[in-house]
Amino acid sequence: MRKYLKMIRRGDLLIILFLMAASFLPLGVFSYHQANAESADNIAVISVDGKIVKEFVLKDDGETETYVYQDDHGHENVIVREGSRIRITSADCDDQLCVRMGAKDGIGETIMCLPNRVLVEIRGAQGTTADDEEALDIIS
């Protein structure tokens, strides 16, 4: 063990400490970005099979809005915006996972009802467009 400790020099310790401190930099940048993004009104986008059917502006105004989505087969989802939060209050799917996911209000949070193919996604007020999202996708 002493043989290995003799191999470490003062400069090595400085590099290790610098790398450890730099590893927390992305956390700080992300936290700063999230704190600034929370000040603006977010947008909840409801889409079915990738097509947007409704958008809600999530602002803390104390109002409640309800949207009932019903597809061609008679499946139904009730989506409620309560101030700056949105949730699915009822669905006629068997598993009820979308109802149990609760209310969401943060950017990037989603609620999905897979049997009915309904997606509720929260985006920032300066959200990206579909063209921007395709440009960022390097896999497909």
What is the CATH classification number for the domain harbouring 51?
Answer: 2.60.320.10
**Domain contains 83:** yes
In a domain, 1, yes or no: no
pTM, entire model: 0.63
Domain holding 85, by residue range, is 42-124
Residue 37 inside a domain? The answer is no
Distance CA 20, CA 121 (A): 35
Angstrom distance (rounded) from CA 64 to CA 82: 5
Q: What are the pLDDT digits (tens) for 48-107?
A: 998 999 999 988 888 899 999 998 888 899 999 998 899 999 999 889 999 999 999 888
Residue 19 forms part of a structural domain: no
Domain count, the chain: 1
Work out the average pLDDT over 121-134: 63
Q: Which residues fall within 8 angstroms of residue 81, CB to CB, at 6 or more apart?
A: 44, 56, 58, 63, 64, 65, 66, 67
pLDDT of residue 27: 92
Q: Is the pLDDT of residue 131 over 80?
A: no
Asked if the structure places residue 89 within a domain, the reply is yes
Q: Which has the minimum average pLDDT: 16-20, 25-29, 59-63, 132-136? A: 132-136
Q: Is residue 71 part of a domain?
A: yes
